[in-house]
A and B are shown apart, each in its own frame.
Chain A
């Protein structure tokens, strides 16, 4: 069949395995931070925690252990409050993409499908890391006594990153399975915040009832917080001893980081699997 052709269609280009990842990542970041209210929302909570809630807790509860600067103690722990909440909250964006159909455009793009949830997770990770920087920066300005080093910062950001990725994996799975914002919404505080109460954020897990303490040792929140305190409060009780009971802080921190790595890899792998199953009939 003869057709007048001005521009010949080109053949399909060979695409690199990670082609499209950067574009998907930047889109996710842009969607999350597109509006002023979105940006303020992401950073208002950490600012309030550090400037108001943490000092108040210091005043009310600070005397429980004279060897610990309680303000610094709870300032570090705010990362385990903010990061999971951010990860869970961003699951809503997955539902929005499904509801408004933008996901369908991505599904017919010449990118490998696992890159779509992975790009989402990297976008959330970027925001979470920025939040941790804000928390610790403001805490430092407000008088927190951090004892750290470049290696200590690596422990901190390593734990924060793995906790973010692990919880975002859960968020992506739930968002793909649930598909309704009103059903997903109540899970945000349930999963994003409740474990924070029991991870040693406000008090050592050793003061919990024995059964609860044993359970908290399985929680990624507990491992992440202990590694963060190991990185930022060197020379004080990080909580790693309560989890592992070993002699070497570094070895225990490495073990906890390993737990977090398994957690992140496991939930992200499940998220990719769920994504493939729920988006292709």
Chain B
């Protein structure tokens, strides 16, 4: 990749106390790309974004953003980025417009340009009518839209979004993902985001990197990753011991990989849907405990489970 917007090589971070949050991570993000860092809580996503936004000091390796070294040229890195944090980070003493104005001053935008840019982005985000209200009166979705507007004000080369939809209701989450996709096209910025909402990332990211315990375990476009896995899956719901079902599935030869077991579900990636359908009827009537069977398209969540041996749990999805 020539002149990547983000370049991470053998990145390590060990926190005081010995916790190794990032263990030799490496990836690149092309100019104009939307790249998703996926993984459960504690995988190392936020630490990685912390290094890239210069709020976490790396213990080893190298990272460059917009061509600038994150430690040696930290101010230049910060001049090239916009950040949307996981938690709301607005100055509650001020109005929406004043919050944006503070940002333009800190980023050194000329006054004339700043006012025009603020007006444009407030309109784009549907906040023009509430621009002069105190941000304390904003809903969660409005606050998040204002934060995205703020991150884009100085026309950053790279925008970092740390779990941008966490804590928002599903309708607002959908709206924000659409907005992010639209803004990439309109603003031309590179976007790096972290999320554990895998289905949402699948819809918006050009490429994703799957992080597990501080390491990159899979990388590619969502379609590539899903195709590599299956692209289809057989999912069998089992009553009782799944071991006979796993053995029976393996014996059919339909699986592209070994079956995985999560609770009562036995899942196996397949290459040939017709062949799998043929064998499913037999498996269901063998009396080995199969109570339901489905063939479905694999998802990033399946890719994640396959690569890490561990699904993103319902608890993390809700976090």
Q: Which residues of A contact B (CB under 8 A)?
A: 1-13, 15, 19-20, 23-24, 27, 30-31, 34, 100-102, 104-112, 279-281
Contacts and interface: CB of A to CB of B under 8 A. Distances in A.
Given A3-B32, A7-B155, A107 B55 contact: yes
Most B-side CB within 10 Å, residue of A6, A101, A105 = A105
Nearest to A103: B89
A109 B76 CA distance: 10
A104 B85 contact: yes
A159 B157 CA distance: 47
What's the dominant secondary structure at chain A's contact region? Answer: loop
Given A101-B87, A102-B90, A108-B78, A1 B157 contact: no
Nearest to B185: A4
Give the residue among A4, A11, A109 with the most B Cβ atoms within 10 A: A109
Interface string B153-189: 0011100000000000000000000000000111111
23 contacts: A1-B30, A1-B206, A7-B155, A7-B188, A8-B155, A8-B188, A9-B189, A9-B190, A10-B157, A12-B79, A12-B80, A20-B106, A23-B102, A27-B91, A31-B93, A34-B93, A101-B89, A102-B89, A102-B90, A105-B83, A109-B107, A111-B106, A112-B75
A274 B190 CA distance: 34
Contacts of B89: 100-102, 104-105
Contact of A105 (B77, B103, B157, B206): B103
Interface of B: 15, 30, 32-33, 47, 50, 53-57, 66, 68, 75-81, 83, 85, 87-93, 102-103, 105-108, 150, 155-157, 184-190, 206
Contacts of B93: 30-31, 34
A23 B15 CA distance: 33
Contacts of B50: 281
A15 B75 contact: yes
A27 B53 CA distance: 23
A188 B83 CA distance: 35
Contacts of B189: 9
Contact of A101 (B55, B85, B184): B85
Nearest to A20: B106
Nearest to A2: B32
A255 B168 CA distance: 60
A63 B187 CA distance: 75
Top 8 nearest A-B pairs by Cβ distance?
A: A5-B188, A110-B79, A3-B32, A12-B79, A101-B89, A109-B106, A23-B105, A110-B78
Contacts of A8: 155, 188
Interface centre among B76, B105, B106, by most A CB within 10 Å? B106
